[in-house]
Amino acid sequence: MIELKGISKSFRVAKREAGLKEAVKALFARQHETVHALQDVSFTIGDGEMVGYIGPNGAGKSTTIKIMCGILHPDSGGCVINGRVPWRDRVAHVRDIGVVFGQRSQLWWDVPVADSFALLKDIYKVSDADYRRSLSELTELLDLKELLKTPARSLSLGQRMRCELAASLIHDPKILFLDEPTIGLDAVSKIAVRQFIKKLNQERGTTVILTTHDMQDIEALTERIILIGKGRILLDGSLQELKRRSASQKRITFEYNGPEPSLPAGTKVIERGPHRLVIELEKEWLSVSEAIAQISAQVDVVDISVTGMSAEEMVAQLYREYAL
């Protein structure tokens, strides 16, 4: 159980204008600016939930994660995770959590991955039996067999991320924090990582908190999303709710032969090229079939595809709506 109540955190950042003159001025009088990274952030996450924590860059996602991990002290507000205050009881708290920071590595660079795992085993005081069981399970799920003997520096990014996931789960944590776990991965690796996370959540009942910019991660994994922007929680609900909020427009792409058709009323051109037309429908005005009928009456249509708004676009729309 994770409970955040009114968490605020600000940083003081030294600032100056560009240029030599300003640099000299800053030697004598430093200008500081207070950046409010988090303001009154509250939410509750139950055991076994899988939550997507999203927001634009600099919204405060990582800061929240770091507070929940016990790394940062908030300025005010309370946070209780499994009955403990993370930053006050850090060592006991982190025993129960696993963390993957997608942009950093926790594996020792020069030694084989298996050595890193063995060291983590000792750091977390995992018993030999538990370690063997956990390792063989993770090896199978993440297909690590060939990688264990390789030094971390010679792994590809996708291979490394699989090893990072395993490294953060050796001690069988109750909560897993994933800070951009799919960043920079190719499509195949992304899918492998997602499948693994899903399985982990279903089989071990691990609570998963996921930050990402990849909306496909969110669509594939989480029921619930928390949207943060400029340090405030803007939305806490299901993906469906998000879909309902953003007026879901339909988009039709035509490939055709012949002269440019005139547009039916109630549509908007998104893209117009030679023999290609993308339009968006305002739902109440016109049905999809009517629009298709009107266009195909004018030109020889070769191909048609109809798409709804992707989660990506919905979020982009939300960001605009909240002026983030």
Partner 1 sequence: MKKYQALFTIRFSSGLQYRAAALGGIATQFAWGFMELLAFLAFYKANPGAYPMEFSQTVSYIWLQQAFLALFMTWFYEQDIFETITSGAVAYELVRPIDLYNRWFCHSAANRLARAVLRCFPILLVAFIVPEPLRMSLPPDLGQFGLFMISVPLSLGVVVAFTMLVYISVFFTLSPIGVRIVAALLADFLAGGIVPLPFFPDVVRGVVEILPFAAMQNMPLRIYSGHISGAAAVRGLFLQAFWFVILVVLGRLWMKLALRRAVVQGG
Closer residue to partner 1, CB minimum distance, 39 or 296: 39
* Residue 103 contacts partner 1 per CB under 8 A: yes
Binding segment (CB under 8 A) for partner 1, from list 65-73, 229-237, 248-256, 262-270:
65-73
Sites for partner 1 among residues 221-260 (CB under 8 A)? none
* Residue 155 contacts partner 1 per CB under 8 A: no
Min separation Cβ 197 and partner 1, Å: 18
- The span from the CA of 274 to the CA of 255, in Å, is 9
Residue 214 has what DSSP assignment? Answer: -
Identify the residue whose tokens are 């159980």.
Answer: 1
* Residue 303 contacts partner 1 per CB under 8 A: no
DSSP letters, 15-82, are E--SSHHHHHHHHHS-EEEEEEEEEEEEEEE-TT-EEEEE-STTSSHHHHHHHHTTSS--SEEEEEET
Residues contacting partner 1: total by CB under 8 A: 31
Identify the residue whose tokens are 């590595």.
Answer: 105
* Residue 70 contacts partner 1 per CB under 8 A: yes
What is each CA distance from 237 to 21, 45, 81, 242, 272, in whole angstroms? 50, 12, 21, 7, 37
Binding segment (CB under 8 A) for partner 1, from list 107-115, 222-230, 245-253, 280-288:
107-115
Token pair recorded at residue 188 = 């195949």
* Residue 72 contacts partner 1 per CB under 8 A: yes
What backbone phi and psi angles, to 5 degrees, belong to 209? -115, 125
Binding segment (CB under 8 A) for partner 1, from list 105-113, 218-226, 263-271, 287-295:
105-113
Q: How buried is 130 (Cβ within 10 angstroms: 0-12 exposed, 13-18 middle, 19+ buried)? A: middle
Sites for partner 1 among residues 30-59 (CB under 8 A)? 57
Closer residue to partner 1, CB minimum distance, 124 or 319: 124
Q: Give residues in contact with partner 1 (CB under 8 A).
A: 11, 57, 62, 66, 69-73, 90-92, 94-95, 97, 99, 101, 103-106, 108, 110-111, 115, 118-119, 122-125
